[in-house]
């Protein structure tokens, strides 16, 4: 039995009849969504932060997982909230944003927030060219170690709970997931808020524009923040992200009351 890393646990804050489903990103854990979840819970919402399959235990577990396994984790969380809430707002960070968009192409929700969400594979040199052979290559080179964190708030970076490497076998899964998302964006019609940092050096801010342009939602908004890298839920601009997200959820709740 695999033990969940300390700080990587799923979190649940019971509240009222409005549910917020929070999903973290690639190789990360619910820790990067917990502060946002705490803020939303303080407003009286019921908040669930899911842990994606294969994450927060051992790197080998993620390497064996597939993107549909990650999607199933999000769907499980959705159905748990649906059982106790009248309204649901889905909030996904990075890969969690992709998975949330895929899910909402099939399931109803009252709103969606995407944070630092990619439209395609990150523009890392040779990554797209190597992608087709990565499953075979991963037999000999299972993972690539991550470099030092590039954050504005380096103190916040110290509390991050994540894998310290990227499993190569998971990169084609990421690519397949993003491709699936792109085919489904026009089917997503829930009101949408998209937030991205202009200083994100991992997922280009232009990815947010591509997602926005492809969404089927008639009510949608883009917000740019500054002074943070990719992990905007934890880095220096987190308060801006929290305020924008809280305001969006409040508008949804008020309109549907």
Structure tokens at 44: 């009286």
Residue 116 is a catalytic residue: no
- φ/ψ of residue 212, rounded to 5: -55, -45
Active-site pick, 110, 196, 199, 200: 200
The single residue of 94, 170, 175, 197 carrying the catalytic annotation is 94
Pairing of strands 143-145, 165-167: antiparallel
- 235 noted as active-site residue: no
Place of tokens 């949804």: 252
- Whether 94 is catalytic is yes
Please tell me which residue in 24, 55, 196, 230 is annotated as part of the active site: 230
Euclidean distance between CA atoms 102 and 109, whole angstroms? 12
Angle, in degrees to the nearest 10, between helices 238-256 and 31-41: 50
Q: List residues with catalytic annotation.
A: 94, 200, 230
């Amino acid at each position: 039995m695999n033990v969940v890393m300390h700080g990587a646990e799923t979190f649940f804050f019971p509240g009222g009849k409005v549910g917020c489903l929070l999903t973290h990103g690639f190789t990360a854990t619910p820790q990067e969504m917990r502060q946002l979840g705490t803020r939303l819970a303080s407003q009286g919402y019921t908040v669930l932060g899911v842990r994606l399959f294969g994450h927060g235990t051992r790197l080998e577990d993620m390497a064996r997982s597939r993107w549909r396994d990650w999607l199933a984790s999000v769907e499980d969380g959705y159905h748990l909230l649906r059982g106790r809430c009248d309204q649901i707002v889905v909030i996904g960070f990075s890969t969690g944003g992709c998975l949330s968009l895929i899910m909402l192409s099939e399931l109803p929700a009252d709103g969606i927030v995407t944070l630092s969400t990619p439209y395609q594979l990150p523009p890392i040199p040779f990554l797209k060219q190597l992608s087709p052979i990565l499953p075979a290559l991963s037999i000999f080179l299972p993972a690539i170690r991550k470099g030092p964190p590039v954050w504005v708030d380096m103190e916040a970076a110290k509390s991050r709970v994540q894998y310290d490497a990227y499993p190569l076998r998971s990169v084609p899964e990421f690519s397949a997931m993003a491709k699936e998302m792109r085919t489904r964006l026009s089917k997503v019609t829930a009101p949408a808020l998209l937030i991205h940092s202009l200083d994100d050096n991992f997922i280009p801010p232009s990815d947010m524009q591509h997602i926005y342009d492809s969404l089927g939602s008639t009510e949608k908004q883009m917000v740019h923040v500054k002074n943070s890298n990719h992990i905007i839920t934890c880095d220096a601009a987190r308060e801006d992200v929290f305020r924008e997200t809280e305001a969006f959820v409040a508008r949804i709740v008020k309109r549907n009351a």
